[in-house]
């Protein structure tokens, strides 16, 4: 038969070989009604023996399977197809079977394969001495090997990074699983692990139930501990992972994570419970302590959920609760640094508006702060609306807030706040720029248990309110000079802000305006205080100088330094804030980014009278991607009149990440409090090997944290990541 001619069933063969036509027609219909697409350079037919032999670029296509070979022989009497010479069998799922010789029947669904090699759809590989196909969806291999690793381009005979050798390998394409019997894992040609049976999903599976690699560790407060995860794919839209941990010295931890997704939202719940560990008791201020006991139950629950109600509204929650402050650290769960926050909410997104109603609860992870004084906020509701520009370019903004806050011990608050402001930007006659705003806000409070001063032993209750108008005019005059691709900017800035004096009565408690830090970013804001409970009252003038250098090739640098003067002698700001006097401290910030190889920042606050450093913060990140060095330093100095020692100290952090070779990298990090003799907070080193199919990370960490039954110590962990198999970790050392 001439090359390049495609023959389908009886019609094509009759056009070439009259005698052979009926035989091939029977081939097309003997086993099923599915036609055969047949192509070859040459075809011979022996009618007496019932043999059809095709040679040269043979292609046989049937039932979504394609057989390619140098020679294909079909025995009509036995219904057997044999193929030899560069044999390839392309399967519907994307797998390709290569062999020197194949003997197939039943529409290529059954047969024997010699010197088989299989390229799976994710480019991982199976190979064996012999193989057998069963029912078109099961391949059984003898003396086989599996690896997802690419072979060495310079020496393909070199062993891959890792492989699994087995006496028998079964790839069940109906169950989508690959099974190994009498198997050994080799890493770089060296056997490191043996198991009589092992299995994992094939590449067509995204999620499959089964055991995950274990995590093993020893030392510290846990002693020897073993975690054996199990993943259960309940349905396409939900799954659960069980992670039970058995420890030598701290009981048993039952940990699990449940996930589910819908078309309108998703849910993720992560919870654990410890049975038989140390009993946790509550000490002063509600701070947790621990004693030796085998009867207590400790645990945690973290969860997130978000659900669309319609095109404008959605609801959700963030849940974070733990039995005591030391639990998460003890069992190496992820944890925020200071507080756990639980939050449930509903929010509305309008064209120019946003509404939110929420409830909050907080749990302290600071050993000096108890849970009894933490607020429960239920509800807090806000609404914001902004108009389109009016005829002269101004915009009107309206906002409202409602709050109900209660405590087990401390002040309770109910608040209603309504506000509005109108903002207008415009240009001056000299090329200068102005921004004018006028605002009016009214607040009403009903509170009880309020302390006017932190040292008060008595509390006060009652109703209070205020009406707070404020006007502001911001001026800036940018002077710009262009020199080729470089732009130089010098920009003096000033603002005058006016509001009534003394608008923070003592009966209005301060809940949401405490986290204030005066720096250059809020120097020119009309209301520099966050939240609603405190307002930036009085009249003041802000002034400063901004300069910048900008280049398309060499990056940019900018600096801002400024100060504020208040006309009123009484300040709404606390002692130590930098705004307690009429003349504020001097604040400034510097940003330098000359290229992608260097980023540098520096921020500072100087005493307005002595120019003594009150706070400074500096940091940098330098180097190419394969050798990146970063560091930061923050310092809070003693301020006269500031009694809290929590606001004083020096902390330094350094990190280095280096790519040693194409596959090896190292990372070193260290954070310590240098004002207390250089005490370590966190430090560690990570050494990582990573290629296309395997990764190993050796991590040594030191922690200086002491809380509850968790003490400072050192831990060493080795984590192995195998492509298509998952990861497993072994804790070599733990003194924490």
Structural tokens at position 501: 């004096």
Q: Tell me the backbone φ, ψ of residue 28, rounded to 5 degrees.
A: -75, -25
Nearest to 71 by CA among 96, 37, 101: 101
> Distances from the Cα of 74 to the Cαs of 28, 83, 113, 193, 669, in angstroms?
12, 9, 16, 45, 68
Distance between CA 403 and CA 512 in Å, rounded? 11
Residue-wise pLDDT tens digits, 491-530: 999 999 999 998 888 888 888 887 778 899 989 999 998 8
Structural tokens at position 532: 């609603």
**Contact present, 672 and 695 (Cβ < 8 Å):** no
Q: What confidence score (pLDDT) does residue 656 get?
A: 94
Q: What confidence score (pLDDT) does residue 282 get?
A: 44
Nearest to 41 by CA among 82, 6, 83, 67: 6
Distance between CA 182 and CA 604 in Å, rounded? 66
Cα first-last separation, the chain? 78
**Contact present, 657 and 669 (Cβ < 8 Å):** no
**Contact present, 531 and 508 (Cβ < 8 Å):** no
Distance between CA 423 and CA 436 in Å, rounded? 6
> Distances from the Cα of 256 to the Cαs of 212, 304, 502, in angstroms?
13, 14, 54
Helix (H, G, I), strand (E, B), or coil: what is residue 684?
Answer: strand
Q: What confidence score (pLDDT) does residue 454 get?
A: 64
Per DSSP, 574 falls in state: P
| pLDDT-flagged residues of the chain (< 70) | 1-36, 63, 107-108, 220, 277-296, 335-337, 367-368, 454-457, 637-648, 676-678, 704-711, 733-736
Distance between CA 322 and CA 301 in Å, rounded? 6
Q: Spell out the domains of the chain, with CATH numbers in brackets.
A: 7-155 (2.60.450.10), 455-460+468-610 (no CATH)
The beta strand positions in 159-214, using DSSP E, are: 162-172, 177-187, 190-201, 210-211
> Distances from the Cα of 284 to the Cαs of 197, 281, 293, 488, 643, in angstroms?
55, 10, 20, 58, 21
pTM above 0.85, yes or no: no
Helix (H, G, I), strand (E, B), or coil: what is residue 9?
Answer: helix
Helix (H, G, I), strand (E, B), or coil: what is residue 607?
Answer: coil
Q: What confidence score (pLDDT) does residue 20 get?
A: 36
Distance between CA 338 and CA 646 in Å, rounded? 13
Q: What confidence score (pLDDT) does residue 509 get?
A: 86
- DSSP annotation string for 94-163: S-EEEEEEEEEETTTTEEEEEEEEEE-TTS-EEEEEEEEEETTTEEEEEEEEEE-SPPPSS-TTSPPSEE
Distance between CA 729 and CA 214 in Å, rounded? 7
């Amino acid at each position: 038969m001439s090359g390049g001619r495609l023959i389908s069933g009886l019609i094509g063969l009759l056009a070439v070989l009259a005698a052979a036509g009926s035989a091939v027609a029977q081939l097309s219909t003997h086993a099923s009604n599915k036609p055969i697409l047949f192509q070859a350079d040459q075809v011979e037919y022996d009618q007496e023996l019932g043999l059809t032999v095709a040679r040269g670029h043979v292609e046989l296509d049937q039932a979504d399977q394609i057989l390619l070979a140098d020679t294909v022989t079909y025995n009509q009497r036995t219904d057997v197809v044999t193929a030899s010479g560069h044999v390839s069998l392309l399967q519907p799922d994307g797998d390709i079977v290569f062999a020197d010789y194949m003997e197939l029947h039943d529409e290529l669904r059954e047969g024997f394969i010699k010197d088989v090699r299989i390229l799976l759809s994710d480019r991982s590989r199976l190979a064996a001495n012999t193989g057998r196909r069963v029912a078109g969806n099961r391949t059984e291999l003898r003396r086989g090997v599996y690896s997802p690793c690419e072979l060495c381009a310079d020496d393909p005979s070199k062993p891959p990074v890792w492989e699994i050798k087995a006496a028998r390998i079964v790839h069940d394409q109906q169950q989508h699983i690959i099974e190994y019997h009498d198997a050994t894992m080799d890493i770089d040609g060296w056997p490191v692990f043996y198991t009589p049976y092992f299995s994992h999903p094939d590449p067509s599976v995204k999620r499959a139930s089964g055991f995950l690699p274990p995590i093993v560790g020893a030392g510290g407060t846990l002693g020897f501990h073993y975690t054996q995860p199990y993943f259960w794919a309940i349905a396409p839209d939900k799954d659960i992972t069980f992670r039970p941990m058995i420890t030598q010295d701290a009981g048993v931890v039952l940990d699990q994570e449940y996930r589910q997704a819908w078309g309108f939202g998703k849910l993720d719940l992560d919870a654990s419970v410890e049975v038989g560990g140390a009993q946790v008791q509550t000490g002063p201020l509600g701070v947790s302590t621990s004693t030796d006991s085998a009867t207590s139950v400790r645990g945690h629950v973290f969860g997130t959920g978000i659900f669309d109600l319609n095109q404008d509204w959605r609801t959700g929650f963030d849940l974070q609760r733990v039995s005591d402050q030391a639990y998460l650290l003890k069992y190496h769960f992820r944890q925020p640094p200071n507080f756990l926050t639980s939050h449930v909410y509903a929010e509305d997104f309008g064209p120019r508006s946003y509404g939110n109603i929420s409830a909050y609860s907080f749990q302290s992870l600071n050993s000096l702060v108890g849970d009894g004084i933490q607020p429960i906020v239920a509800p807090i509701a806000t609404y914001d609306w902004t108009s389109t520009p009016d005829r002269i370019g101004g915009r009107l903004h309206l906002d409202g807030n409602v709050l109900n806050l209660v405590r087990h011990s401390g002040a309770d608050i109910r608040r209603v706040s309504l506000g509005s402001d109108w903002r207008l930007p415009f240009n001056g006659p000299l090329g200068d720029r102005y921004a004018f705003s006028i605002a009016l806000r009214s607040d009403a409070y009903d509170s009880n248990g309020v302390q006017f001063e932190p040292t008060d032993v008595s509390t006060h209750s009652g109703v209070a309110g205020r009406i707070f108008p404020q006007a502001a005019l911001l001026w800036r005059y940018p002077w710009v000079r262009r020199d080729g691709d470089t732009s130089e900017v010098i920009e003096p800035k000033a603002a005058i802000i006016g509001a009534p004096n003394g608008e923070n009565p003592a009966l209005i408690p301060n809940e949401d305006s405490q986290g204030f830090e005066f720096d250059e970013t809020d120097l020119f804001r009309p209301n520099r205080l966050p939240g609603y409970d405190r307002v930036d009252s009085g009249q003041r003038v802000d002034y400063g100088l901004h300069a910048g250098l900008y280049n398309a090739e060499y990056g940019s640098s900018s600096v801002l330094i400024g100060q504020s003067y208040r006309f009123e002698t009484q300040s709404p700001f606390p002692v130590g804030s930098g705004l307690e006097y009429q003349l504020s401290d001097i604040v400034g910030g510097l940003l330098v980014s000359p290229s992608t190889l260097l980023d540098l920042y520096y921020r500072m606050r100087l005493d307005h009278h002595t120019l003594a450093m009150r706070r400074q913060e500096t940091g940098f990140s330098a180097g190419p991607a394969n050798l990146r060095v970063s560091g930061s330093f923050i310092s809070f100095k003693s301020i006269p009149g500031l009694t809290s020692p929590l606001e004083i100290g020096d902390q330094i952090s350094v990190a280095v990440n280096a790519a040693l070779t194409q596959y090896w990298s190292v990372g070193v990090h260290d954070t310590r409090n240098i004002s207390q003799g250089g005490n370590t907070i966190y430090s560690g080193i990570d050494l990582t090997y990573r290629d296309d199919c395997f990764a190993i990370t050796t991590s040594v960490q030191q922690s200086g944290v002491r809380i509850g039954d968790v003490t400072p110590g050192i831990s060493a962990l080795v984590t192995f990541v195998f492509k298509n198999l998952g990861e497993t970790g072994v804790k070599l050392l733990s003194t924490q």
